[in-house]
A and B are shown apart, each in its own frame.
Chain A
Amino acid sequence: MFFRLQLPLILTFIAGMIPIVAFFFTSEATIVKAPTDRLEKWMVIVAGFALLLGVINVIQGNLKKIERRGPGWPYAICLLVGLLVPGIFGILSAFSVGPFQGIGLRADGGYTPFAWVTRFFFEPLQATMFSLLAFYIASAAFRAFRVRNLEATILLVAAVLVMIGRIPVGDAISSAVRPGALASFTEWLMDKPNTAAQRGILIGAALGAASLSLRVILGIERSYLGLEKSE
Chain B
Amino acid sequence: MLSRRNPQLNANGELIHLLSIEGLPRAVLHQILDTAGTFLSVNDRDVKKVPLLRGKSVFNLFFENSTRTRTTFEIAAKRLSADVINLDINKSSTAKGESLLDTIANLSAMHADMFVVRHSESGAPYLIAQHCAPHVHVVNAGDGRHAHPTQGLLDMYTIRHFKKDFTQLTVAIVGDIVHSRVARSDIHALGILGVPEIRAVGPRTLVPGDLAAMGVRVCHDMAEGIRGADVIIMLRLQNERMSGAMLPSAGEFFKQYGLTPEKLALAKPDCIVMHPGPINRGVEIESSVADGSHSVILPQVTFGIAVRMAVMSTIAGNQA
> Does B associate with A?
no
